[in-house]
Structure 1
C-alpha cells in the first residue's frame, strides 16, 4: 500500500488539520494485552533515528509502521504492540519529534498544530499538552501525544513558539509576566519547567 504524505501544513487551515487528525486510523494498540513479550532489538536515539540491531532504519515507511504500534507502558517503558506480542524498545529520550508548527489566531484564541517526524499531525490542547523539562537555562520542550507517547519539540520549533508567545504579550496585561502561550483553549507556560 503506497503512502501518501499529508499536504504541507502551510496549505491547511487548523480546522482541516484537526479533521485529518480525527480521521486517522491508528491501530487500537491500547486495547491489546498480549501475553507474549520479547526484546525488539530496536532503539530510538535522542535525535529521533530508529535502529534495529545497531543498523539505522532508513525507510520512513518502516518507521511510520513501527510508530503506529508504539505505546508507553505505565512503568515508563516503550513497546511495539500487536494483538499477539509485545516487544520492548529502547527509547533514549522521546520516541517522536515535533518538527514543524502551524499557528492560527492569537492570544487565548490561538490554536497550534504540529507535524511529527512520522508525518502525523497533532493539535495541541488539554489532551495534547506542551510540557517543559530540563532547566531554565536548557529547556527541553515536549508535546504529549496518544498512548502515553511524547514528541520532543525541536529547538527551532521551540523558538517559533517563544516568538509567538512574545508577540502575544500585549494581548493580555495579566499574562505579561512570563511566557504563556495558548492552544485550543488551554494555557501553557514556556517559562516554567514541569515538576519531575
Structure 2
C-alpha cells in the first residue's frame, strides 16, 4: 500500500487528529531488546533531513518507515528491529514540528502538532512543549512519543507564539489539555 500523507492539519477536526494517531500502528520498539548492535551510518540533521553514509535520503516513505523504528536511550538514539539495534546520530531532535493547530474541547484549548514524518500528537502532560536555549533565542520542542522530541520549525514557532500572545499573560505560555507550557527557557 503506497504512503499517503495525512490531510492538512488545519482542515482536520480534533476527532480526526485522534483517529489518525490511533490508526498509525508503530512497531513495539520499546519491547525489543536485541543484543546485536551496530552503527546505522545514518544521521538526522537539525533541519530534519535524514542521511545515510553522507547521502540524503530523499524518499519520504523511507524516512517515515525508519522514523517508526526510532528509540531513545539516554542521549543515544537507535533504529531498533527485533534482532538488531543500530545507533543513529541526531544533531538536535529526531523530528521537526512543521504545523500546529488549536482546537477547543469543552471550552479548553488543545494544541495538535504534525511532524515532518506526518506523525501527529496533541500536547498534554505526557507530550509537553518546552523551551531550551536562552530567553532571547529559545528553541521550542514538543515530545512526540517515548522521549522523542520534535523541534518546532520557524513557521510553527511563529504560529505557537501567536497562540500564546492571544492567550495573554506573563510569562508567555500556551495551554493544552489543562497543562500550561511556558515558551521561554527557565
**Coarse TM-score class (shorter-chain normalised):** over 0.9
Aligned-partner Cα distance in 2 for 1:58–1:64: 11
When normalised by structure 1's length, the TM-score is 0.90
Taking the TM superposition and a 5 Å limit, the aligned residue runs for 1:2-151 are 2-73=2-73, 75-105=74-104, 109-151=108-150
What is the CA distance between 1:14 and its match in structure 2?
1.2
Once residues 37 and 112 of structure 2 are traced to their aligned partners in structure 1, the CA distance between those partners, rounded to angstroms, is 35
What are the within-5 Å matches in structure 2 for residues 179-190 of structure 1?
Answer: 179-190=172-183
- Whichever structure has more helix as a proportion of its residues is 1
Query: Match for residue 172 of structure 1?
Result: none
Q: In the TM superposition, what are the counterparts of 1:147-162 in structure 2 within 5 Å?
A: 147-162=146-161
TM-score (norm 2): 0.95
Give a deviation string over 1:121-174, Cα, whole Å, max 9, x none. Answer: 1111111110100101110101112122100011221111111111112xxxxx
Aligned partners of 2:84 and 2:146: how far apart in 1? 17
Equivalent residue pairs, number = 185
Show structure 1 runs of 4+ deviating over 6 A.
none
Distance, in Å, in 1 between the alignment partners of 2:102 and 2:51 is 33
Shift in Å, 1:15: 2.0
Distance in 1, Cα, partners of 2:112 & 2:63:
21
CA distance in 2: counterparts of 1:134 and 1:3, whole angstroms = 36
Which of the residues 156, 171, 176 maps onto 1:178? 171
Q: CA RMSD in A?
A: 1.4
Q: Which runs of 5+ in 2 are unaligned?
A: none
